[in-house]
Structure 1
Amino acid sequence: MELFAQGLFAPECPVILDNGDVLVVEMRRDRSAVTRVDAETRELHAIALTGGFPNGLLRDAQGKLWVGEAREHALIRYDAEGNEEARITNCGDELFRWPNDHVIGRDGAIYMTDSGAWEHEVLDPVKMTLKPGWSDYPFDGRVYRIDRATLDVTRIDNGIRFANGIAFDRHDRLYVAETIGGNIYRYEVFGANPRRELFGNVWDGVAPEGFIGPDGMKFGADGRLYCTVMGAGHIVVFDEAGTVVERIETKGKAPTNIAFTEDGRHKMFVTEIANGAIEVHDAPCDGLPIYRDSVVIPAQRDISPSRHRAETSSV
């Protein structure tokens, strides 16, 4: 294991760029940024200040940055220079609560988890820990599909106890992590009836007490699912049957997400918030190539909200 970067303020969602630089979001309130880590100098450069609690990040083929903002309750789109272009805040009458991780599917749409809590009700903004009594909170985690061209939003599922990590396998099945309890769910989203089914669980038996459980995850080219377990200090590896076959220890106790190399280096870049670091671990393979579909996105849109359309703002 080596450290790619240190001194980050609660990093999440690493994205490896073609030149080796790495993008992350820094979640802590006194930073709240999309940050680029220079691969050569390891210097940190803020690309965009989100103003709240950025929790998820992806970069599409056009270089657009999509940020899940928990405090702003929005999925925000930025251009490559960090200028805000649009924000999505709802699915019909249903407001976003805690937009979290998101991924692009084979159809070019974004699939996003919403953890299902109002961030200010459950999270201490200074300590970045959950408030007392969080376990009694009525979490209603959701999974959404967002059309990147029209910005239309559709809800796929709800009722998940803190929906978190999300990933597609090589058969285009969608996987969602439920942090409380440790379950990983699977959906045939391109089938006729994409109902939730249990794929696996990160714990061998009963889940430990406290807010400890699966966070960000990615598939390797070997077909296995690699899932960070925030608070436990390891990455759980599932085989294609949903059986835990390995636990990879991380240096810090709070890994939050993974980015695999796709260039033959066989490395995993892991964000970790206890030490504010990006760890680099050897991997048995590269990552399963992720979709970065280059759907044409209008530079400006003026969409009136309706029951089936997301509100947006052009900036």
Structure 2
Amino acid sequence: MAENPETLILEPQFSKIVDGVLGSEGPVFDKNGNFFMVAPQIKKDEKFAGQVFKVDLLNKQASMLCEPAVDGEGGAPAGCQCDKEGNLWIADMRLGIIKVTQDGQMTQVCRQDSEGRPMQGCNDCIFDYQGSLWVTAPAGEIAPAPYTRSMEEPFGSIYCMLTSGQVIRVDTGIRFPNGIAVLHTDDGRPKKLIVAETPTKLLWSYDIVEPGKVTNKTIWGRLSGDHEGGADGMDFDADNNLLVAHWGSGFIEVFSSQGGQPRKRIKCPFMRISNLHFKPKSNTVYVTEHDNHGLWEFKWETQGKPQKCEMLFD
């Protein structure tokens, strides 16, 4: 799809925070303003040895919090969310869903889904306001199974981890499901699940019927251009505009709450944008990218939508 000539192109000022975080991904704040990100691409002896970092944004320094591993198999952490206690819930391409505490203690949450199938490697995640964790899983079975990805063959899946801890596979047959977001009603009920399918440049929506159950899979949006890559991480602003990292294009695409084609495009000083996340109660956006494996910030037009961990009442 060619670019829409009516789409407004914005060029905000970007400031670099850190670089050299291999595969730079998973930007997230906890409710106290601490910032975390991950390095999924690190390998040792041909095995993954990804890392989780805590970042001092003021002094622009990253310190390793954890190097996830289970039974000698290293992880490839890719997406993060925080709960109210400050725990990191991480989508890991080799270990599935893992939990990391603020002092760096790691737990693998599950090895099978609710129907006894082996978990697949995961990429991104989001808490809805009712506490369910929605997770994309574009990889094959978790370690020690061989590492495979669904870029060509559509075996990618979507999971929902309920507040009970049960992990339900809600859909499968997707080519590399990647970024994920939840659109809520005005009174805070989860309404739609939005999922990026990277190689097709499509954004799919599902109606959320109840925790762990979706219906009505529909094409919600399409990224612009014929660029390399496709849709990666995403985040809603306070006006329910969805900002989507378009990996390989040099742009963040901005969609209205109705989807369709992007209304605005944010030009970045790098091409391979991987993810983005709003600082709580602000219009500052933190962006990860793979050109320099870095973290950057810029100012958006409005504040971000509050995350589950920021909310005062459940």
TM value normalised by structure 2: 0.81
Structure 1 pair 19/153, CA: closer, same or farther in 2 (3 Å)? closer
Residue in 1 that maps onto 2:288 = 271
The yes-or-no answer on 1:26 pairing with 2:39 is yes
- Which residue identity does 2:82 align to in structure 1? R
Give the 3 Å change call, closer, same or farther, for CA 43–193 of structure 1 in structure 2: closer
CA distance, structure 2, for counterparts of residue 8 and residue 45 of structure 1: 10
Which amino acid counterpart does residue 109 of structure 1 have in structure 2?
Answer: S
The answer as to whether partners of 1:213 and 1:231 remain within 8 angstroms in 2 is yes
Which residue identity is paired with 1:113?
T
Q: Is the 8 A contact 1:110 1:147 kept in 2?
A: yes
User: Where does residue 182 of structure 2 map in the other structure?
Assistant: 168
SS in 2 for 1:180: helix
Structure 2 residue runs without a partner (length 5+): 1-13, 44-48, 69-73
Partner of 2:81: 58
Shift of 1:156: 1.3
Aligned equivalents of 2:139, 2:243: Cα separation in 1: 23
CA distance in 1, matches of 2:274, 2:34: 19
Once residues 85 and 193 of structure 1 are traced to their aligned partners in structure 2, the CA distance between those partners, rounded to angstroms, is: 28
State how far apart, in whole Å, the 2-side matches of 1:220 and 1:54 are.
Answer: 25
Task: Say if 1:170 and 1:90 are closer, same or farther in 2 by CA, change over 3 A.
Answer: same
Alignment-derived partner of residue 246 in structure 2: 229
What does residue 220 of structure 2 align with? 199
Cα distance in 2, alignment partners of residues 78 and 106 from structure 1 = 21
Q: How many residues align?
A: 276
Alpha-carbon distance in structure 2 between the residues aligned to 1:165 and 1:198: 15
The aligned counterpart of 1:178 is: 197
Q: Corresponding residue for 1:298?
A: none
Question: 2:270 matched to 1:252?
Answer: yes
Give, in whole Å, the separation in 2 of the partners of 1:59 and 1:193. 23
Alignment CA distance shift 1:76-1:12 (3 Å): same
CA distance in 1, matches of 2:299, 2:41: 28
Match of 1:4 among 6, 14, 17: 17
Q: After superposition, what is the alpha-carbon deviation per residue over 1:76-133, rounded to whole angstroms, capped at 9, x for unaligned?
A: 112221112342222123222221111111221111011144695557xxxxxxxxxx
Q: Which of residues 88, 91, 94 is equivalent to 2:110?
A: 88
1:84 partner letter: M
Q: 2:176 is aligned with what amino acid? A: F
Is 1:79 aligned to 2:101, yes or no? yes
Alpha-carbon distance in structure 2 between the residues aligned to 1:193 and 1:152: 16
Match of 2:132 in 1: 109
Which residue of 1 is the match for residue 63 of structure 2? Answer: 45
Q: 1-side partners of 2:166 and 2:141: how far apart?
A: 22
Give, in angstroms, the shift of residue 193 of structure 1: 5.6
Aligned residues with identical type, % of pairs = 25
Equivalent position SS for 2:123: strand
Q: Deviations over 1:212-264 (max 9, x none)?
A: 00000001112111000111121111112213111111112111111112323
Post-superposition Cα deviations, 1:257-284, rounded to whole Å, max 9, x if no partner, equal 11112323x1110011211111111200
Cα distance, 1:194 vs. partner? 2.1
Amino acid at match of 1:8: V
**Distance verdict in 2 for CA 1:89–1:34, change over 3 Å:** same
Per-residue CA shift, 1:22-63, capped at 9, x if unaligned?
200111224611101112322211111012211111111111
Deviations 1:135-178 (A, max 9, x none): 6x313121111124x32111211111110000112322211111
Distance of 1:104 and 1:193 partners within structure 2: 15
2:302 pairs with 270, 276, 285, which one? 285
> Would you say 1:241 and 2:258 are equivalent positions?
yes
1:20/1:39 contact within 8 Å kept = no
Confirm or deny: 8 A CA contact 1:216 1:227 kept in the other structure. yes
In structure 1, runs of 5+ residues without a counterpart are 124-133, 295-315
Residue 27 of structure 2: which of 6, 11, 14 is its match? Answer: 14
Alignment-derived partner of residue 308 in structure 1: none
Structure 1 residue 70 displacement after superposition: 0.9
Q: 2:155 aligns with which of 140, 155, 160?
A: 140
Using the TM superposition, give the Cα deviation of residue 21 of structure 1 relative to its aligned residue in structure 2, in angstroms.
4.0
